[in-house]
Amino acid sequence: MVGFEAGAKRFQDAKTYSRLCTITAVTFCLISLTVLLIFKGHIASVYSNDMQVVRLAGHFLTYAAFFQLSDAIQAPIQGALRGYKDVTITFIMALVSYWIIGLPVGILLANMTNLGPYGYWIGLIAGLAMGAVTLSIRLRFVQRKMENA
């Protein structure tokens, strides 16, 4: 929809669709996140009867919930930027966020602290969160540029 509206030079509608998509994704994510956090023990117990495994899986599901939130923000924004045909800078920003920030942070936290495997999850979340922030800034820049063109 963003690409269709931007192509028709209806930039305000494109902006509205990009905002609507992001709000919808975050809303569904918050519902899913809430269910995941409330029922993480029950979800984990579907896969194992070992209480230690269930407890450990519950911890990982907490990280997965917050990973999901960062992803729910950045994914529709990245899609909106594609609709504006802003793919090269978007790709570079995502690449830096995931591979230059997220992966090294995860490796450092997992191997240089007592966090162990949780460090990798924190790195993943940090990379996605950085992507969400930088892509949000880029989307605002592109939208202003289109409106002023």
Q: How many CA atoms lie within 13 A of 137 on its CB side?
A: 8
In the chain, the number of structural domains is 1
15-70: pLDDT as tens digits = 999 999 999 999 999 999 999 999 999 999 999 999 999 999 999 999 999 999 99
Q: What share of the chain is helix, strand, coil (3-state, %, to 5)?
A: 85, 0, 15
The pLDDT of residue 104: 98
Domain assignment of residue 22, given as a range: 2-148
B/e letters for 28-61, b = 16+ CB within 10 Å, e = fewer, are ebeeebeebeeebeeebbeeeeeeeebeebbeeb
Nearest to 78 by CA among 37, 18, 135, 141: 135
92-109: pLDDT as tens digits = 999 999 999 999 999 999
Please, are residues 42 and 50 in contact by the beta-carbon 8 Å criterion? no
Please, are residues 58 and 120 in contact by the beta-carbon 8 Å criterion? no
Euclidean distance between CA atoms 131 and 33, whole angstroms: 20
Has this prediction a pTM greater than 0.75?
yes
